Amino acid sequence: MLRFFAVFVLVCGLLTPALAQESVVNPRAETGGAQTLDDIMRRQSQQKVDDEFRRSETGDPEAAAPITAPLGTRGGQSISDMWRGLRYDTADVSTQSRGPASTTLIQDGGMWWLKFREGPLLIYGAALLGGTLLLLALFYLIRGRIRIQGEKTGRTITRFSGLERFGHWLLASSFIILGLTGLISLFGRKVLIPAFGHDAFSTLAIATKWLHNNVSWAFMIALVIIFLFWVAHNIPNRTDLVWLSKGGGIIGSGHPPAEKFNAGQKIIFWSVIILGTSISVSGLSLLFPFEFNMFGATFAKLNDWGITGLVGLEPLHYPLTPQEEMQYAQLWHAIVSLVLTAIIFAHIYIGSVGMEGAFEAMGTGEVEEQWAREHHSLWVEEVQEAEVHQSKEA
Amino acid sequence: MKAFLLALVALAAITVGVNLILVAIDFSAKEAWASTGNVRLDD
């Protein structure tokens, strides 16, 4: 008997660590499957919480006890089960409104967007624009205005036609209005409301939204105009490699040869076309909410192709709720716009205070011949050859 | 300068024109949410 007792104690002793291990594997055993204090603490400190354990705990009306049975009137789904179903978007919701997002009553994934929009997006956005302006100011202080080095000839060459300049200024003026109104929308709640109050900001916000929504069409039309006018001149070639290797004239002496558009201008052109198109598409998605769902489909493709795994990321969240589509579109629209604005700051700098003779290209369309020889030598040769050819024909 | 001024005029015309067209065809975000056509009262 004593031997049996000794074996029993030994077996119990051996099982204890196994049971302890079990409780580690299932940390919610002690709460009967509900969330633990650790879950709550992690959520409060903004850490990721694995909520898979309760995501599916949404009850089962089919498994309800008969109504005649004890407590049968409770049904198979408790109120907590119902709210979990709404929170994790698995409940079968029927609403009077037929709007596309009307059946998502709780959008559990929206808080990260709100926090990102109010925090890092504003901080890094302001740092990007402020940093770019600072760098340009430093460059100006160090390098000064880039002057026309040779003697001015007094003769001019037509650089851009009236139509080209019209397209450029339509794009530029709409971009400036969109940029300003976009920044007011982005920074309004955090910066302008504390400074001017809700009433003043409300009027400004209504005007800003109207302008931003409607001026956007002029931007999109102008984007198409400048693409059609200048795409042929902006195809990259070997001349651009030489230009880039000399930093556009900053490295070494003299100006590297360039065609109508040098490599720097080509970078600006393609940035405007690619980023501007991306901003336009995401803007259209915001302008007509829930009509274009681009991000869910893109995420699914990236997951299928394994691209997220290649860069060491977990698969992207899919499918997205209609609200999430809008949130991603808003972030994309804002981030790409901020990047393009920083690039345009550099473009405005070099086209105005940064370089003597550059503004005339878009101001009057006529540039000093010496300026053209220094900055676009190959283009000047082309123009003069064409003139000779024309005069021979005449 | 003429091109710049013309661009500003075009900008204003496009901005106001597009808004008038969108309002005239009732294509607005508000319509997707608040119009009676999007509300079902029978089920």
pLDDT band at A165 (very low <50, low <70, confident <90, very high): very high
Mutate to test the interface with A, among B1, B5, B18, B28 (most CBs of A within 10 A): B18
Q: Rounded to whole angstroms, what are the CA distances from A177 to A68, A350, A352, B7?
A: 69, 20, 19, 13
Within 8 A of A99 by CB-CB distance, chain B residues are 32-33, 38
Question: B20 at the A interface (CB within 8 A)?
Answer: no
Q: Give the chain B residue whose CA is nearest to the CA of A173.
A: B8
- Are A99 and B32 within 8 A, CB to CB? yes
Measured between CA atoms, the residue of chain A closest to residue B14 is A218
Domain that holds residue B10: 2-36
- Minimum distance, in Å, between the CA of residue A65 and any CA atom of chain B: 28
Q: Is residue B13 part of a domain?
A: yes
Residues 181-210 of A with CB under 8 A from B: 210
Question: What is the ipTM metric for this complex?
Answer: 0.81
User: What would the pLDDT profile of A250-275 be if each residue is shown by its tens digit?
Assistant: 776 778 999 999 999 999 999 999 99
Q: What is the pLDDT of residue A4?
A: 61
Q: Return the CATH class of domain A111-393.
A: mainly alpha
Looking at residue B35, its pLDDT comes to 56
- Domain positions in chain A are 2-27+36-110, 111-393
Which residues from chain A sit within 8 angstroms of residue B30, using beta carbons? none
pLDDT tens, A224-247? 999 999 999 999 999 999 999 988
- Reported as a single tens digit per residue, the pLDDT across A299-355 is 999 999 989 888 888 888 888 888 999 999 999 999 999 999 999 999 999 999 999
Record: contact B15-A211, CB cut-off 8 A = yes
| B31 inside domain | yes
**Per the confidence metrics, is the pTM higher than 0.80?**
yes
A96/B40 Cβ within 8 A: yes
Question: How many folded domains does chain B comprise?
Answer: 1
pLDDT for A23: 46
> Is residue B30 situated within a structural domain?
yes
Residue B42 lies in a domain: no
Is any Cβ of chain B less than 8 angstroms from the Cβ of A286?
no
Task: Answer whether residue B10 is part of any domain.
Answer: yes
- Give percent above pLDDT 90 in chain A: 56
pLDDT tops 60 at residue A141: yes
**Distance from the A330 Cα atom to the nearest Cα atom in chain B, whole angstroms:** 15
The residue with greater pLDDT, A171 or A252, is: A171
Instruction: Read off the pLDDT of residues B1-43 as tens digits, 9 standing for 90 and up.
Output: 899 999 999 999 999 999 999 888 877 666 655 555 555 555 4
